[in-house]
Amino acid sequence: MPVGPGKYDDACTAVRVATEAHAIVLIVIDGNQGSGFSVQASGDAAAHLPGLLRSLADQIEASDDRSSATGAA
């Protein structure tokens, strides 16, 4: 993972500060600066991110599978 500020780091910081979060993962698809991501995490929150992202991916796939099975768009 890249270290240092990326093209969406300012937006990521704004969300982290506004939510008073310990960690933020911002994924941008076709944004005004193209696609990209920014991650900001401190302390223990950083250690939990890989498992959290795997779980989130599983949930997205399961949701997509259910939508496909019911014919929902």
Q: Is 4 part of a structural domain of the chain? A: no
**Number of structural domains in the chain:** 1
Q: What is the pTM of this model?
A: 0.72
Identify the band that residue 44 occupies on the pLDDT scale cut at 50, 70 and 90.
Answer: confident
Is 73 part of any domain?
no
Count of beta carbons in the 10 Å neighbourhood of residue 16: 18
Q: In which domain, by residue range, is 40 found?
A: 9-65
Rounded CA separation 71/17 (Å): 39
2 located within any domain: no
The structure tokens listed for 72 are: 């929902």
Does residue 52 lie in a domain region?
A: yes
Look at residue 70 and tell me if it is in a domain: no
Predicted confidence (pLDDT) per residue in 10-35, tens digit: 999 999 999 999 999 999 999 999 99
